[in-house]
Structure 1
Amino acid sequence: MRIALGLSYLGTAYQGWQSQPSGCTVQDRLEDALARFTTTPVTTLCAGRTDAGVHGLMQVVHFDTELAREPFSWVRGTNRFLPADIAVQWAQPVPDDFHARASALARRYAYVVLESPVRPSVEAGRVGWTFRPLDGEAMRAAVRHLIGQHDFTSFRASACQALSPVKQLRRIDIIRKGAYWRFDFEADAFLHHMIRNLMGCLLQVGQGLQPPDWMAEVLAARDRDAAAPTFAPDGLYFLGPVYDPRWGLPERTAAYDGLP
């Protein structure tokens, strides 16, 4: 039997999603909880890996098991053994041909940035920060150069293992609520550090350090050195994958719309 889980987590205390020898990752904590609940080893596959410090609002994983349980039992039973900053939101049996990563049609992320002369305090680790004012119209003008299918080598980390730097960036929406900016990204897939590197460039445009058309120059250069420094992981949230409706999986968690 194949089970899909949707979970949320605060990534501040973890070395990212993927299992590490240290055991201090979200995957390590989840698989340990599942093993304690099922009393057998469990290996999970996720929809999209997240870096250290990056949060997840609806990470989707799947695993195979011979244990038959009701969906609510998977949720409550697994959560019993998880730390307070990780929680399974839903569970659902899926066909054997469902694959959390390969079945995803797109992936969605959001960056939340505080514009303030004073650094974050209670939001530390949960929002990015700029002390310079941002120009929303300039950033939206820069975004227009990025939408579509492009070679995103200029925004790719040197350690990226993707087979191709060509990705289909479907949208970037930029809105402001009070002192907070929210940047929503959707693409078929993302390169390692791609969003953090895009954010570094967008903030330089927003701060008036570069004109909007500079983004086109960076993209065309296909050279990481042409872009801005990588922005911090603080404030980056994996909103979740997009699947074909035929799988019948939830599209989002309640926290999706609860960000600033």
Structure 2
Amino acid sequence: MPRFALLIDYDGTPFSGWQRQAGQPSVQAAVEAAIRRLEPEAPGIAAAGRTDAGVHATGQVAHCDLAKDWDPFRLSEALNHHLRPQPVAVLRAARVAEDFHARFSATERRYLFRLVARRAPVTHDRGLVWQVQNALDLTAMRAGAAHLTGHHDFTTFRSSMCQSASPVKTLDEIGIESLPVPGGVEYRFRLRARSFLHNQVRSIVGTLERVGAGAWAPEDVRRALEARDRAACGPVCPPQGLYLTGVAYPADPFA
């Protein structure tokens, strides 16, 4: 069967997450339903990241096996037709090798977290950012983040429900920038690693927000990491500011 990679963009607000769940709306189920409008016997699909409820994506990758050797452009157009009006879109489709796997072939995943600090409620970005009321100390957050890059035991920063075999991961980069928005400031956290633990990004951003607010010192982040204790973590931030923005492979399937 021909295998296709799909580059997928979605607003996670109305979904229980990426992964198919009985009785709950999911992004996976929406895409599979669209595929089965084209090929009723098509098998299930696999994705690079199982985003949680309320988490968004601008660069999710999934793969599917189809009976027909579709033209990739026509496949993406047909899937988008059947996905409407749900907030899910196939940006690109590409024919890939039979051994390509959206999850297991990935060499890097990239996430963005958007945090807006302003007194007035957000309007246009409601449901797409985490809002706090007061501006944060960017320099302090960057100093705290520096303790987390590299190869570490991230037990403190993973969910108690995480199913990963090991808490040890290599976090290649945490970049934090700020930009003005009407009435306030937006902080953008960009994280890059081969793979992440469950709730790792939200745990890190929630902790760094405490540093930016002055409740934690940057050095407290190092102490929390070294504690290897979930109780030492700062608050886990809400999901609506989190985006899966990209997945890398040895060869870009969409090049």
TM-score bin, normalised by smaller chain = over 0.9
User: Which ranges in structure 1 are unaligned for 5 or more consecutive residues?
Assistant: 251-260
Q: What does the per-residue CA deviation read over 1:108-166, in whole Å, with 9 as the maximum and x for residues that have no partner?
A: 00001111012322211101111122000000101110010100000110111011101
Which residue is equivalent to 1:240? 246
**Within-5 A mapping of 1:108-187:** 108-178=110-180, 179-187=185-193
Shift of 1:42: 3.0
Q: What does the per-residue CA deviation read over 1:198-238, in whole Å, with 9 as the maximum and x for residues that have no partner?
A: 01100000001110000000000011100111100011100
Aligned to 2:239, what secondary structure does the other structure show?
coil
Q: What does the per-residue CA deviation read over 1:2-41, in whole Å, with 9 as the maximum and x for residues that have no partner?
A: 1111110000000000000014000000000100122323
* Separation (CA, whole Å) in 1 of partners of 2:254 and 2:152: 30
Q: Percent identity?
A: 40
Q: What does the per-residue CA deviation read over 1:49-105, in whole Å, with 9 as the maximum and x for residues that have no partner?
A: 100000010110111122121011110111111033100000011011111111111
* Separation (CA, whole Å) in 2 of partners of 1:66 and 1:166: 40
* Separation (CA, whole Å) in 2 of partners of 1:121 and 1:4: 35
Shift of 1:177: 1.0
TM-score by length of 1: 0.93
Change (3 A) 1:33 1:248: closer
* Separation (CA, whole Å) in 1 of partners of 2:227 and 2:129: 30
TM-score by length of 2: 0.95
Aligned to 1:52, what secondary structure does the other structure show?
coil
Number of equivalences = 249
Which residue is equivalent to 1:256? none
Aligned to 1:35, what secondary structure does the other structure show?
helix
User: Which ranges in structure 2 are unaligned for 5 or more consecutive residues?
Assistant: none
Aligned-residue Cα RMSD (Å) equals 1.1
Which residue is equivalent to 2:254? 249
Q: Is the 8 A contact 1:43 1:63 kept in 2?
A: yes
